[in-house]
Amino acid sequence: MAEREPTDEAYCAVEVATEDGTPVIRLSGELDMVSIERIRPVVEEVLAAGNDRLAFDVRGLEFMDSSGVALLVSATRKARQVELRHPTPIVRRLIELTGLTELLLMVP
């Protein structure tokens, strides 16, 4: 199996948009301890704008480890509501196993 480099664009792509006044951060690929270093500054910039709601569109995530979960949880400290839109079965299961379903609203 070929090892992917953190600089590989397919590793974890991030895109920021606004839908109905709510910032939406779209993630695709693998959100892990390597890619989180590229993603965290984007999330922090969106949160610094003072939005009380934040959504993550995670339909494109193929993998997420505990550092991805930690990033999502840290967003709840600055935004009143954080939702996960279109969670894949992998992401949904991870959030359920960690007991974070009340903290991170999952929207089908």
Tens digit of each residue's pLDDT, the chain (108 residues): 334 444 554 489 999 999 999 999 999 999 999 999 999 999 999 999 988 899 999 999 999 999 999 999 999 999 999 999 999 999 999 999 999 999 999 998
Does any domain span residue 7? Answer: no
Does any domain span residue 5? Answer: no
Give the domain CATH number at 91: 3.30.750.24
Intra-chain end-to-end CA distance of the chain, in Å = 33
Note whether 61 and 27 are within 8 A (CB): yes
Q: Is-above-0.75 flag for pTM?
A: yes
Does any domain span residue 32? Answer: yes
Tokens representing 47? Answer: 């949160």
Q: Give the count of domains, the chain.
A: 1
Does any domain span residue 1? Answer: no
Q: Domain span at residue 50?
A: 12-107
Does any domain span residue 96? Answer: yes
Residue ranges in the chain assigned as alpha helix (H)? 36-48, 66-75, 89-97
